Chains A and B, each alone.
Chain A
Amino acid sequence: MISSYLPGRTFLHRIGAGWKLLALLLVSMVLLPVDSPLVLAAVLACALGLLASLGSGAGTVLRSLKPVAFVVVFILALHGLFGTLEAGVIVALRLASLLLLATLITLTTRLDDMLDTLTPVLRPVALVGLSERRLALAIALAIRFTPMLVDVTRQLNEAYRARSGRNGHVKLVAPLCLHALNAADHIAEALAARGGVDGCPPESTDGEEDKVRR
Chain B
Amino acid sequence: MSVSTSQFAIFDSVTLTRGAFCVFRGLSLALSERRVALVGLNGSGKSSLLRMLNGLLLPDEGTVTVFGLDSRKDQRKLPRHVGMVFQNPDHQMIFPTVLEELAFAPRQMGATRGEAEAMARQTLAQHGCGDWAEQPVALLSEGQKQLVCLLAASISKPRLLLCDEPFSGLDLSLRLHFADHIAASPAHVVMVSHDLDMLSEFDRIIWLDKGSVVGDGRPEDILPDYRSFARARARKLTADSL
Q: Measuring CB to CB, which residues of chain A are less than 8 angstroms from any residue of chain B?
A: 4-5, 7-8, 110-112, 116, 137, 140-141, 143-144, 147-148, 151, 183, 186-187, 189-196, 199-203, 209-210, 212-213
Contacts and interface: CB of A to CB of B under 8 A. Distances in A.
A195 B96 contact: no
Nearest to A13: B134
B226 interface: no
Contact of B97 (A5, A147, A190, A212): A5
B108 A194 contact: yes
B79 A212 contact: no
A144 B97 CA distance: 8
Contact of B94 (A141, A209, A213): A141
Contact of A191 (B90, B94, B135): B94
Nearest to A139: B96
B108 A190 contact: no
Given A111-B100, A187-B91, A193 B84 contact: yes
A147 B138 contact: yes
B137 interface: yes
Nearest to B133: A7
Nearest to A202: B110
A110 B134 contact: yes
7 contacts: A111-B95, A147-B136, A190-B94, A195-B76, A199-B107, A200-B108, A201-B77
B48 interface: no
Contact of A195 (B79, B90, B91, B112): B79
Interface string B149-162: 00000000000000
Given A183-B91, A189-B56, A7 B134 contact: yes
A121 B80 CA distance: 31
Contacts of B93: 144, 190
Given A112-B100, A144-B96, 13 more contacts: A111-B97, A116-B113, A140-B95, A143-B96, A147-B138, A192-B56, A194-B104, A194-B105, A195-B105, A200-B77, A209-B109, A209-B110, A213-B107
Interface string B50-65: 0000101000000000
Nearest to B149: A190
Contacts of B109: 195, 199-200, 209
B56 A212 contact: no
Interface of B: 54, 56, 76-77, 79-80, 82, 84, 86, 88, 90-97, 99-100, 104-105, 107-113, 134-138
B12 to A, nearest CB: 22
B116 to A, nearest CB: 10
B77 A212 contact: no
B95 A200 contact: no
Contacts of A5: 96-97, 134, 136
B90 A4 contact: no
Given A193-B84, A200-B79, A144 B113 contact: no
B110 A193 contact: no
Contacts of A112: 100, 113
B80 A200 contact: yes
Nearest to B91: A186
B110 A210 contact: yes
B96 A140 contact: yes
A10 to B, nearest CB: 12
Contacts of B111: 212
Given A200-B79, A200-B108, A110 B94 contact: no
A148 B104 CA distance: 20
A190 B107 contact: no
A191 B54 CA distance: 12
B96 A190 contact: no
A200 B137 CA distance: 24
Contacts of A193: 54, 56, 79, 82, 84, 86
B82 to A, nearest CB: 8
